[in-house]
Amino acid sequence: MKKVRPLLFFVSVLLLVGLACRFGDGGETPEPPPTEVSVQVDEPTSAPEPTEPPVTEVPEPTEPPTPEAQQFYTEEFDNPLSSDWTTRIDFAHPNITESDKVTVQAEDGKLLWDFGNKYVYYYLFYGAYEYEDVVLEVHAENRGKNNNSVSLICRYDPEVGWYEFNITNSGLYDISFVKILSNGRVQYNRVANGGSTHIKAGLDVNEYYAKCEGNELTLKINGMDVTSIQDKKYAELSKGQVGISVSSFNVLPIRIDMDWFKVSEP
């Protein structure tokens, strides 16, 4: 029994050595085979079709609003005269009918009167309002011949007539009731007249003032009192439109520039 145990021990050692050699002969541990990686490839997408930009409608140009007519104000002639103004043309003699060479227009902040015809009485009436009592003023520069007339008008009634304050550049003035006749012509009825040294003759500037209050008619020239008279004879005019006028006589050219025309309460 003692001889068998060493033999068994020897055989066991051989088996262990053999197993160790079997597992050691493989070298490095083999790497596992690579795994496939699934990569998702997106299909190329087409670019969106270009779209036309939205059409922007351009608003049509609009005319500036017409200024509202005022009862008491100063007209400085910065714009063409509005439709509130109407025109009347009369002549010194029945056989004179030409006014084709007369122009009246607002330009560069002035109302320009240019006459190429003789004996023409050119009126502008402001028809937006009617006035009973009113004060009228005008700033007028003479740029032509000396023989002309600048006028202020109150209580104009197209069926009856008007009051007219006339100042000639040569130094005279008059106040008249102008009556409209049945044939459309006019008749001048003098209420007051005279001369004034306050009128600046020649190529100069004058400011005229006329007041119609009740039956009293008052004229001032360049800030100085000239006359004030009560008219009881032609009392049919109690209210009406206001206006301005320039007249030519026997010489040409006649040129008047008006800087402003003022309508105010007495």
Contact 192, 204 (CB under 8 A): no
Tell whether the model's pLDDT for residue 1 goes beyond 80: no
Give the model's confidence band at 61: pLDDT under 50 very low, under 70 low, under 90 confident, else very high: low
Average pLDDT over residues 225-232: 95
Q: In this predicted structure, what is the pLDDT of residue 232?
A: 87
162 band by pLDDT with thresholds 50, 70 and 90: very high
- The string of pLDDT tens digits covering residues 89-143 is 999 988 899 999 999 999 999 999 999 999 999 999 999 999 999 999 999 999 9
Separation of CA 13 from chain center: 124
- pLDDT, tens only, 10-56: 555 555 545 444 545 544 545 555 555 444 545 555 555 656 666 66
Q: Does residue 5 have a pLDDT over 90?
A: no
Q: Measure the CA–CA gap between 82 and 89, rounded to whole angstroms.
A: 18
**What per-residue confidence (pLDDT) applies to 94?**
84
For the chain, domains (ranges, CATH) are 73-264 (2.60.120.560)
> 31 or 177, which is more confident?
177
pLDDT at 249: 96
Q: What is the pTM of this model?
A: 0.76
